[in-house]
Amino acid sequence: MINKPAVDELIGKLSADGHDASRYELCVVVAKRARQIIEQMGGRELPNKMKEITAACYEIDSGKVTSAKD
């Protein structure tokens, strides 16, 4: 369970450009980014033994990752 950053804060970060994000959208964006991180790392561990999902959440919180409507 992710406590920091809070789920509501992450949803707020994804809610941009006039659309409201949902918990489902947050899950999809985090899962896609986590898979990208796994592919990029090529079997190596992230710094501080951070999990890929945690890294994806921090990237959303910092604004590096956003949601795009298809």
- Please report which confidence band the pLDDT of residue 69 belongs to, taking 50, 70 and 90 as the band edges: low
Summarize pLDDT for 36-56 with one digit per residue, the tens.
999 998 888 888 888 999 999
The pLDDT of residue 65 is 86
Mean pLDDT value across residues 16-42: 89
Q: Which of 40, 18, 19 is nearest to 59 (CA)?
A: 40
Q: What angle do CA 11, 17, 20 make, to 5 degrees?
A: 40
Mean pLDDT of the chain: 87
